[in-house]
Amino acid sequence: MHGDVDHPNDAVLLKDDYENYHLRRGPYLNALSGDLVSKTFLFVGFSFTDPNLDYVLSRIRTTFREHQRRHFCIFKRRTKQPNETDADFEHAQIKQRLAISDLKRFNIKTLLIDDFAEITDILSKIERTYRTRTILVSGSAAEYGEWEAAASETFLRDLSGALVQQGYRLVTGMGHGVGDAVITGAIGEVYAHRKGHTEDSLVMRPFPRANPDPAERARLWEAYRQELASEAGICLVLFGNKTEGESTVLADGVRREVEIAREKGLTVVPIGATGYVAGEVWGEMRQSLEKYFANVTPELADKFEKLGIKVINPSELISRTLDFINLITKES
């Protein structure tokens, strides 16, 4: 906002620089104003004594009196310093309280901490909470077990649509037999209710399959899976089989995605009733839920159990899946 180390002659330092800021850097102020209206800010290590920011915040406050965006900031709670008198300490406390109260005018909520090390924990918590709203859909299906293809595809379409409807963002590598139905349901939900841009609800990353070199293709796919998992907080596992020769076998790619998800700290949610890799992973997790979930309550154990119970119509699994994902999202 006030310059760059690579352009020291343009740094904002003098009183004249501040007074002429709106003339020299008007586009920046407009961009910042737009972000402050449309996004949520977290101010860290910021004193709020900057006159330019105060100008922007004041304009927004007077323009959007009843509909201001909520922002947050972190301050270290004022403590008594060595050799500080009681009077000086009381004055400093009052000054901090007044600063916090003044920020409320701009709809900025202050979080007081006792130690700067707490900021790392806070940011980690924010990241976990944000990422749990994005779900990596891992699965492939050359066959659907006892279910017919039409019923299974309807289940996948309706499940992805329901997840998008509830505010989740889906990431898919377009696994065979699963990916098409997932994106169809998600896009259908976005268009049906005009829920912003498609990218806000769905990330599609088809695996590159044209490389003739098996070793190079495997390397690319591994990097691809790593990148997909990095965008999510939950890994939803469905089916997990592929054709090899004339046989249907477990999909090692889906199994690898589960491993990567765990390495990156994602919460793995296997829909065991769909069988194959998903069924195997569900069975493994069922043996020791406390290893995979921080807080295993009777409700969580019961809802997880239902993910593996066989059903006649796969669409019966939609409500069970939503119930479990909503539970772990709430608890995170």
Q: Where in the sequence numbering do the catalytic residues fall?
A: 2
Residues 145 and 55: their CA atoms lie apart, in Å, by 64
The DSSP string of 108-133 is: EEEEEESSTTHHHHHHHHHHHHHHTT
Residues 220 and 317: their CA atoms lie apart, in Å, by 33
Please give the radius of gyration of the chain, using alpha carbons only, rounded to the nearest integer. Answer: 26
Determine which helix (DSSP H) or strand (DSSP E) holds 7, and give its type and residue range: none
Please state, as a whole number, how many other Cβ atoms lie within 10 Å of the Cβ of residue 58: 12
Q: In terms of Cα–Cα distance, which of 320, 322, 287 is closest to 303?
A: 320
Is the CB of residue 298 less than 8 Å from the CB of residue 138?
no
Question: CA-based diameter of the chain, in Å?
Answer: 85
Q: In terms of Cα–Cα distance, which of 298, 296, 301, 249 is closest to 277?
A: 249
In the chain, count of helices (H) and strands (E)? Answer: 13, 10
Is the CB of residue 112 less than 8 Å from the CB of residue 103?
no
Give the torsion sign (CA, 108, 109, 114, 116): negative
Residues 166 and 209: their CA atoms lie apart, in Å, by 33
Q: In terms of Cα–Cα distance, which of 325, 323, 316 is closest to 151?
A: 316
Strand-pair partners of 169 = 134
